[in-house]
């Protein structure tokens, strides 16, 4: 049995990572062992090689789902792989194949969307971008579809974590739903060359996935024909049973080949040795796990390319990759509202523009979680151009632009300043995993207050929403002239740099450009929604209860025509006992 190490390189130069981490430490130690088997070193490069300061940070998967462009996803994965290989890292814990069915889940933004067909198409594209046509090629990395399986189906209130609501909870769905919605992307991923699969922290019908022999052995390996290796999530084995030895036995026998043990490797090894000596885990099972891991290492060409490719270091943070990020962000934006020709902005006009909001001048807020740090940060931990900086560069000399982080704008005479255009960039703070579980999906109260305040000071109000999922826009949608939803956590050098006068993207960005060509049946046809009774949507339901939801829905059809509908939906809790009302 082999241990995995979750790698989170410090924010240092690419060459230091390549030499100091991969070559100087990990492989150096491995090559001094008896068999000299090289280390397979992995990172969570889930939206670019974002553990590394200076690497390009791409939109999170939920934004790429809005773009619905497999070619774009494959290109992003290809760029990510090359930046990883440049730093000596050849294993990516991505892509996420979750099909989130409750957007209150803190990992919603890691999934491409709630449509399994869309998730499948984009996940396969990501897999192909990371692994290429030949896994052994010098610029490819091993992909890891995750988290197997049903992590997007957990019921509200089942999270075992303090402060958690859905993350790592239990999915009470039947097997037919599990297969049709949540297993479907894995069927395609295995068919398209997946060689490692990470198991979910969550449970299905009360059984932890890390101990689910039926789904891992019978379904993944047996039915799907998966012959790569199965790995645990971060200390995932620890949560299988109260007794650690029992947890190790259950997970290994269930089919976990490689265990991610972040803190106490010797404890795990001692437990596994005892299990083998007692006969609780057979030697044949150990041989099976080791063979699977070695097989993939050989397929990856790891024995021949131990240290990545330093020649690719010039591509880390390169102009070409940043241009790809800007294009990706432009494709992910969704225009929710545009009244009275508020957009596109007019960069060459003589005007006063007032900018406020928590996301206006923060690379960290733009990037979200899994960026340099696990939870992300509101600080600028990696280079990039903020939206404010992009606006400053994009507007012409006739524009007076003022930034007021607290929404206070005064002229030279000390009197309140009136603006022609106001831009409020409201945002969820960065988060990851259960820290992002939310009971109400509300934007920060401070941002909502800034929108109201700015409305009184400007003729035209544009609101940009930076979030990891749809959020409640009551009090925002009504007062704004235009709303641009960026449910992505944009690229660190995407949103801001995308509004750079040098490529005239200012006109393209805040325009209807990303939205007219909407595929029939696409979620992008939903322009706006406003629940008359939002509390009803978020109240947990029990079997036998019925919730009636009333809301308005603005739609745009493939021809570009818009219509507003009043919708009433009755939901019977018996259909989804223990889960939230979900129109």
Q: In the annotation, is 433 catalytic? A: yes
Q: Are 413 and 446 in contact (CB under 8 A)?
A: no
Q: Are 388 and 394 in contact (CB under 8 A)?
A: no
Pick from 16, 18, 17, 59: nearest CA to 370: 59
Check the CA dihedral 150-151-153-157 and report its sign: positive
How far is residue 44 CA from its own chain's centroid? 11
Among this protein's residues, is 110 annotated catalytic? no
Least Cα distance to 61 among 4, 6, 9, 129 occurs for 129
Residue with tokens 């610029």: 139
- Taking the mean position of all CA atoms in its chain, how far away is CA 133? 25
Residue ranges in 157-309 assigned as alpha helix (H): 175-177, 184-191, 213, 244-254, 265-278, 283-300
CA gap 49, 80 in Å, rounded: 6
- Distance, in Å, from the CA atom of 407 to the CA atom of 423, rounded to the nearest integer, reads 11
Cα separation, 476 vs 463, whole angstroms: 8
Residue 49: DSSP 8-state:
S
**280 alpha-carbon distance from chain centroid:** 38
Distances (CA, A) of 389 to 49, 463, 499: 23, 17, 9
Q: Torsions phi, psi of 231, nearest 5?
A: -120, 155
Q: Name, in order, each residue with C-beta under 8 angstroms of 100's C-beta and a sequence gap of 6 or more.
A: 107, 108, 111, 113, 114, 152, 469
Of 433, 437, 493, 582, catalytic: 433
Residue 269: φ, ψ to 5°: -60, -40
Task: Give the Cα separation of 61 and 67 in Å (integer).
Answer: 10
Closest listed residue to residue 142, CA positions, set 293, 262, 17: 293
Select which of 83, 233, 315, 500 is catalytic: 233
42: number of CA atoms within 13 Å, CB side?
A: 27
- Quote the distance between the C-alpha of residue 412 and its chain's center: 44
Burial level of 546, CB count in 10 A (0-12/13-18/19+)?
A: exposed
- What's the rounded Cα separation, in Å, for the pair 511 and 334? 10
| Best CA proximity match to 139, nearest among 101, 181, 99, 87 | 87
Q: Are the C-beta atoms of residues 199 and 216 closer than 8 Å to each other?
A: yes
User: E strands of 132-254, at which residues?
Assistant: 146-148, 170-171, 196-199, 203-204, 207-208, 229-231
Catalytic residues: 233, 433
């Amino acid at each position: 049995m082999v241990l995995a190490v979750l790698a989170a390189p410090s924010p240092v130069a690419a060459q230091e990572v390549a030499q100091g981490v991969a070559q100087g430490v990990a492989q150096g130690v491995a090559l001094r062992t008896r068999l000299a088997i090289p280390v397979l070193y992995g990172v969570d490069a889930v939206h670019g090689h974002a553990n590394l300061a200076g690497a390009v940070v791409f939109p999170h998967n939920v934004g790429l789902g809005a773009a619905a462009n497999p070619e774009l996803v494959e290109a992003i994965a290809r760029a990510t792989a090359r930046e990883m290989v440049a730093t000596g890292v050849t294993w990516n814990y991505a892509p996420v194949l979750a099909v989130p069915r409750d957007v209150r889940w803190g990992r919603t933004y890691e999934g491409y969307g709630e449509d399994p067909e869309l998730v499948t198409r984009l996940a396969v594209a990501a897999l192909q971008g990371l692994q290429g046509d030949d896994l052994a090629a010098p610029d490819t990395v091993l992909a890891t579809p995750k988290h197997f399986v049903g992590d997007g189906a957990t019921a509200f209130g089942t999270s075992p974590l303090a402060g958690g609501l859905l993350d790592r909870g239990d999915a009470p769905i039947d097997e037919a739903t599990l297969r049709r919605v949540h297993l479907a992307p894995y069927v395609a991923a295995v068919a398209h060359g997946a060689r490692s699969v990470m198991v979910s922290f969550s449970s299905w019908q009360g059984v932890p996935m890390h101990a689910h022999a039926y789904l891992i052995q019978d379904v993944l390996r047996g039915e799907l024909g998966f012959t790569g290796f199965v790995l645990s999530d971060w200390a995932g084995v620890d949560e299988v049973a109260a007794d650690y030895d029992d947890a190790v036995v259950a997970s290994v026998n269930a089919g976990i080949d490689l265990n991610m043990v972040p803190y106490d490797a010797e404890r795990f090894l001692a437990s596994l040795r005892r299990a083998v000596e007692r006969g609780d885990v057979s030697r044949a099972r150990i041989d099976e796990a080791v063979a699977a891991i070695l097989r993939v290492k050989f397929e990856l060409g790891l024995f021949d390319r131990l240290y990545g490719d330093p020649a690719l270091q010039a591509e880390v943070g390169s102009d070409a990759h940043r241009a790809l990020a800007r294009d990706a962000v432009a494709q992910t934006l969704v225009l929710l509202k545009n009244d009275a020709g508020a957009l596109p902005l007019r960069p060459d006009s003589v005007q006063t523009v007032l900018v406020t909001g928590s996301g206006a001048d923060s690379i960290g807020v733009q990037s979200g979680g899994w960026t340099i740090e696990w939870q992300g940060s509101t600080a600028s931990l990696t280079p990039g151009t903020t939206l404010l900086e992009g606006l400053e560069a994009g507007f012409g000399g006739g524009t007076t632009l003022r930034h007021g982080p607290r929404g206070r704008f005064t002229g030279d005479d000390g009197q309140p300043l009136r603006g022609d255009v106001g831009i409020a960039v409201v945002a969820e703070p960065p988060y990851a995993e259960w820290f992002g579980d939310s009971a109400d999906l509300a934007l920060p109260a401070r941002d909502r207050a800034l929108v109201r305040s700015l409305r009184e000071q400007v003729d035209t109000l544009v609101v940009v929403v930076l979030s990891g999922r749809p959020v409640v826009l009551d009090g925002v949608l009504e007062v704004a002239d235009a709303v641009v939803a960026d449910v992505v956590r944009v690229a660190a050098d995407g949103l801001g740099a995308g509004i750079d006068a040098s490529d005239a993207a200012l006109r393209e960005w805040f325009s209807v450009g990303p939205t007219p060509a909407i595929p029939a049946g696409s979620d992008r046809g939903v322009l706006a929604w406003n629940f008359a009774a939002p509390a009803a949507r978020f109240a947990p339901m029990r079997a036998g209860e019925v919730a009636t939801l009333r809301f308005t829905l603005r739609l745009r059809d493939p021809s570009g025509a818009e219509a507003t509908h009043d919708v009433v939906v009755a939901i019977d809790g018996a259909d989804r006992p223990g889960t939230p009302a979900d129109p």
